[in-house]
Amino acid sequence: MADKQVILVTGGTGLVGKAIEYVVENGEKRPNEEWIFASSKDADLCDADSTRSLFEKYKPTHVIHLAAMVGGLYRNLKYNLDFFRKNMMINDNVLAASHEFGVKKVVSCLSTCIFPDKTTYPIDETMIHNGAPHDSNFGYSYAKRMIDVLNRGYNQSHGAKFTAVIPTNVYGPHDNFDLEDGHVLPGLINKAYCAKRDGKEFVIWGTGLPRRQFIYSRDLARLMIWVLRNYEEIEPIILSVSEEDEVSIKEAAMTVIEAADFKGKVTFDTSKSDGQFKKTASNEKLRKYLPDFKFTPFKEAVKETVEWFEKNYETARKESAK
């Protein structure tokens, strides 16, 4: 039997953590693996001693690092300093503890918002540090970029196998469906539910014209497990559907409306900010490794997410962490 592997997932009760747990429990777990899904109740990752205690308790051989202070466009605009400082502390503590406890491999999770605001499209893994990120979320973006700097530093100084993935817009069961400052797709799902329940119009913030590549959380989970086991590079890898699968916010909203069976009036509140118009990412590197990977079709995945939200409405996350 292969050596026992203890895989610690920080942020293990969030959107991606829950998706990894689902995939692991539905056929991906190997006999020699023990999976630990840690949450903020288990450790304060902003505190070095608390982080070290978590690693001392579980002695992980591998880490998937998902924990972060996160929020949608409007929360980012308001709290850039907090996003920068807290995420810098979390990332530094997790990677320092991983080094101290001899973790064999760490896979951290970045975001396409880290890319330069002024860039050519599609964006790829070589362009991360080529200019300033969008001003709306510079705090979060710079903190996430620094994971790549830390990964390179730990590799150069200690030979550590610390790497990172860059997913596009993730959605799925266990998302944060906050109406004010959650991410776009879960926000639309919650709005559709409330509009249908209350007999009100469905209001889409912004023009609906910006375009996004959405990745279903369970597809991302399968890919992250593949990265943990098989991806040997220190440089990050973009995990995304193809460029031709990019959809507008309006198209995404109409997909949600269809999945939720909403029949009422739909309007656009153009007084609200659109954020970045597009962040088209290339998945060419991923396709070189996994040319035959099959993503869940967008309509099917949205339908599954809407059904999960409706079934779990009372307990689903609908507010931001303060």
Residue 37 included in any domain: yes
Assess whether 248 and 238 both reside in one domain.
Answer: no
Pairing mode of beta strands 33-37, 237-239:
unpaired
pLDDT at 62: 98
What's the helix, strand, coil split of the chain in %, to 5? 45, 15, 40
Assess whether 158 and 258 both reside in one domain.
Answer: no
Assess whether 55 and 148 both reside in one domain.
Answer: yes
pLDDT at 321: 45
Residue 322 included in any domain: no
Assess whether 204 and 223 both reside in one domain.
Answer: no
Assess whether 123 and 186 both reside in one domain.
Answer: no
Assess whether 33 and 166 both reside in one domain.
Answer: yes
CATH number of the domain that residue 74 is part of: 3.40.50.720
Assess whether 106 and 193 both reside in one domain.
Answer: no
Residue 286 included in any domain: no
Residue 289 included in any domain: no
Assess whether 166 and 249 both reside in one domain.
Answer: no
pLDDT along the chain (322 residues), means of 10: 88 97 96 97 97 98 95 70 96 98 98 91 96 91 97 98 97 90 87 94 92 96 98 98 95 97 94 82 97 97 97 84 41
Q: Nearest 5°: phi and psi at 88?
A: -60, -45
Distance CA 225, CA 198 (A): 41
Catalytic sites, residue numbers: 140
pLDDT at 184: 87
pLDDT at 178: 87
Assess whether 13 and 157 both reside in one domain.
Answer: yes
- Are 128 and 72 within 8 A, CB to CB? no
Q: pTM for the complete prediction?
A: 0.94
Residue 73 included in any domain: yes
**What would you report as the CA-atom Rg of the chain, rounded to the nearest whole angstrom?**
19
Domain boundary among 226, 243, 260: 243
Assess whether 150 and 250 both reside in one domain.
Answer: no
How many residues are listed for the chain in this entry? Answer: 322
CATH number of the domain that residue 265 is part of: 3.90.25.10
Q: State the residue range of the domain holding 187.
A: 173-211+244-276+297-311
Count up the domains in the chain and report the number: 2
Residue 281 included in any domain: no
Assess whether 16 and 148 both reside in one domain.
Answer: yes
Residue 318 included in any domain: no
Residue 319 included in any domain: no
Assess whether 180 and 222 both reside in one domain.
Answer: no
